[in-house]
């Protein structure tokens, strides 16, 4: 008969080894860097408050003042975000006046200010994220941040010099406005403030690495998605994986438990090198679940697998800078050199 003390000791040793392994693994996947020495000057403006605080009716002089205050944003807001004609100051003033006096728009604005009375917390979170951005891309200017309301047209928009955040698209999954927009529940579930930083990161990534330039081969598509998620790992190392990919904790657990089956399914169905989007798009697009797989399966399983492959590839190339990964166009090379094995 085995000694109970011996068994207890062995259990404690196993637990200790597991704890060290788990702690080390967590640290390795968190990508922590010291940002205390990185100083950035981030401009942060609330355009929606400046716009709705103007005396009515909106006049040409108001338009001129707003253009002067927001030289890189005002015309973009008018023409692209709320889609009004922005010609001379007089024409713009007339069209803008209809926007700011519309009953529904006023209701949206009041709700937005109620949910976001101040954005100090967001400025703090974005400043920390942009320190990471500056660390990995020191040659790039740090974009200014402008908030606005878009009448539910845009979440995040980027230019060379700024990033705009449509606050009315983050009023919370229980906001009474969203069901009437005809949005699916999976989209509504991500219209909350905790997703703002993630969406800003995605916008920054896509502004430099256009998804439309990626080959329509399935492997290339999922590696692109994996790069985006790995980029998010580095820009926001403290962010939960559930937020990064938009899964629930149960869905993440399902992916871990079924990773071998997911990969096997893709191989058996000859998906990896398929160039027919009609065959593979369901494994990339967002949604509630993946059609044809168990109802517990989340959407975007291709993105999940791509993320695991890119993480494995970077673990094998610890000296490769992030820019080197992002500029590597050969998806097959990344897969081959990753040594990816499901469940590892």
DSSP states along 11-42: HHHHHHHHHHHHHHHHHHHHT----TT-----
Looking at the DSSP bridge assignments, the partners of residue 46 are: 147
Specify the pLDDT at position 292.
82
What's the average model confidence in pLDDT over 182-204? 96
Whether the Cβ atoms of residue 234 and residue 134 lie closer than 8 Å to each other: no
pLDDT band at 22 (very low <50, low <70, confident <90, very high): very low
CA distance 126 to 273: 38
- The dihedrals phi and psi of 95, each to the nearest 5 degrees, come to -70, -40
Quick: pLDDT tens for 271-298.
Answer: 999 999 999 999 999 998 988 889 899 9
Predicted TM-score (pTM) of this structure? 0.89
Locate tokens 């605080």: which residue?
53
Specify the pLDDT at position 7.
39
Whether the Cβ atoms of residue 267 and residue 305 lie closer than 8 Å to each other: no
Quick: pLDDT tens for 50-71.
Answer: 999 999 999 999 999 999 999 9
List the alpha helices (DSSP H) in 236-344. Answer: 241-245, 249-257, 259-268, 277-280, 301-316, 322-327, 331-338
Structure letter (DSSP) for residue 270: T
What's the average model confidence in pLDDT over 171-198? 95
Domain regions of the chain by residue span: 44-208, 211-338
Token pair belonging to 241: 């994986």
What's the average model confidence in pLDDT over 301-315? 98
* pLDDT beyond 50 at 242: yes
Average pLDDT score, the chain: 91
Specify the pLDDT at position 1.
42
Specify the pLDDT at position 265.
93
């Amino acid at each position: 008969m085995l000694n109970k003390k011996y068994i207890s000791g062995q259990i404690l040793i196993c637990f200790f080894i597991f704890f060290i392994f788990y702690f080390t693994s967590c640290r390795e996947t968190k990508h922590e860097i010291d940002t205390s020495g990185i100083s950035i000057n981030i401009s942060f403006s609330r355009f929606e408050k400046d716009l709705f605080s103007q005396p009515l009716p909106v006049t040409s002089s108001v338009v001129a003042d707003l253009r002067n205050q927001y030289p890189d944003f005002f015309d973009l807001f008018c023409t692209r975000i709320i889609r009004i004609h922005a010609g001379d100051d007089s024409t713009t003033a007339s069209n803008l006046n209809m926007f700011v006096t519309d009953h529904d728009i006023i209701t949206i604005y009041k709700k937005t200010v109620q949910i976001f009375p101040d954005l100090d917390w967001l400025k703090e979170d974005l400043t920390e994220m942009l320190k990471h951005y500056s660390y990995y891309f020191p040659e790039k200017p740090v974009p200014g941040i402008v908030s606005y309301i878009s009448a539910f047209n845009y979440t995040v928009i980027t230019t060379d010099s700024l990033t705009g955040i449509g606050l009315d698209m983050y009023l919370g999954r229980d906001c009474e406005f969203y069901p009437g927009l005809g949005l699916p529940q999976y989209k509504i579930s991500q219209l909350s403030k905790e997703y703002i930083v993630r969406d800003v990161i995605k916008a920054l990534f896509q502004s430099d690495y256009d998804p439309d330039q990626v080959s329509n081969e399935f492997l290339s598509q999922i590696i692109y998605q994996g790069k985006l998620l790995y980029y998010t790992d580095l820009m926001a190392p403290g962010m939960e994986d559930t937020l990064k990919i938009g899964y629930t904790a149960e869905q993440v657990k399902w992916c871990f438990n079924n990773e071998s089956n997911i990969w096997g399914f893709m191989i058996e169905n000859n998906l990896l090198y398929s160039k027919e989007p009609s065959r593979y798009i369901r494994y990339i697009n967002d949604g509630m679940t993946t059609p044809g797989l168990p109802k517990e399966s989340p959407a975007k399983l291709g993105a999940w697998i791509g993320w695991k492959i890119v993480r494995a590839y970077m673990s094998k190339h610890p000296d490769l800078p992030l820019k080197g990964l992002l500029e590597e166009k050969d998806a097959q090379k990344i897969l081959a050199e990753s040594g990816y094995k499901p469940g590892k």
